[in-house]
Amino acid sequence: PAGPQIVLSVYGPDFFGHDVARGYGAVHVPFVPGRHKRTIAMFVPESTSRLQQLTSWFTGRRPEFTDPKVVAQGEGREVTRVRSQGFVTISFNVM
């Protein structure tokens, strides 16, 4: 379905207190009047090698998406390693 979307970027502290991406997700806004509940699968990008994973853990700098279009459209995401990171439930009241 086309149309407006809500793109979520959730951040929180890591073990060292650095503010890091905890998850990304997107959902289309419903057009039909009424109350709508959507559950959004969240994901985070992962480093592609063990060395990158170790380096990012020590430095506190983890892979992040800088362009929300990557999350909304999904283009280019098929070549990006991601890990499932839980769910967010959102409610819409459409008039």
Q: What is the pLDDT of residues 65-93, one digit of tens each?
A: 777 777 777 655 555 677 778 999 999 99
Q: What is the pLDDT of residue 26?
A: 92
Q: What is the pLDDT of residue 1?
A: 53
- The closest alpha carbon to 53, from 62, 44, 45, belongs to 62
Q: Which domain holds residue 69?
A: 5-94
| Structure-token pair, residue 20 | 């890091």
Give the chain's domain count: 1
Q: What is the pLDDT of residue 92?
A: 95
Which residue did the predictor score with more confidence, 65 or 11?
11
Q: What is the pLDDT of residue 22?
A: 85
pTM assigned to the model: 0.72
pLDDT digits (tens, 9 = 90+) for 31-63: 899 999 999 999 888 767 777 667 766 666 676
Beta bridge partner(s), residue 90 = 38
Average pLDDT estimate for 20-41: 91
DSSP 78: G
9 contact partners, CB below 8 Å, separation of at least 6: 21, 23, 24, 65, 68, 71
Phi/psi of residue 59, each to 5°? Answer: -85, -20
